[in-house]
Structure 1
């Protein structure tokens, strides 16, 4: 997927997203926060306006598209991309996971695989930030940040049951 970005002086920014079928989605973000969404049959076609949204509505639509409200595929892992190769991911810890029962410091997760645990959801408690003494327990949901390859390595510490 290729995204083209261009400045619109006095207006804001324009983004063109190449879709799999050759069509393009065009999003104009105004300096005021308003968004206009257009479609194009191809790179050289004229744009057709699909809809317009306020800043607040556009952000709400964005969180829905990102999957913050609903993930259509049942998985133990949720992923949010921060940049081209940096992700925040959520992983469930099973009783069979290699790191279950170990403290974060003893597990040496950052040194071994390169990800950092930034939060732990344990029942109704959110542990943020966890310390090196925080023990990882079965049933915990770990929120980690790292690049794609490091996250894949981290999954191996959790065992096959945690992979999505």
Structure 2
């Protein structure tokens, strides 16, 4: 089974679109609007480019949905009113993308060190943090040992992040 990935696409003047294809081959997207609201879109199964339903959510409704999907998660990087924190780096404005890439329990990399992936050398993308159930590990060193269930926060060019995902998807 392939590792699910969220693709990020900047929408100038609108916000950012996040796309996910589920294991059932359903296409979902979330558009994070600049005003803090979100649009949740569900696409037709017979035509993954045709939107069958769209829901516009306020920042508060979005936060409630996030909490319902991942109760342990608490939205960070946002002010109380849902606007982005002014100190955050908006990588899309710089030609970079940031993605969460999961490490599956059956992954080739489960139990191996980050350095063994040669990810930065091979792709130019950087792993800026690893998220674990026990907490976040910022700036992991090459001797950091990966584990199933980890989520790598990877930043780089679109091509570099795609190549990093291909390395992680190695069977």
**TM (normalized to structure 1)?**
0.49
Larger Cα-atom Rg: 1
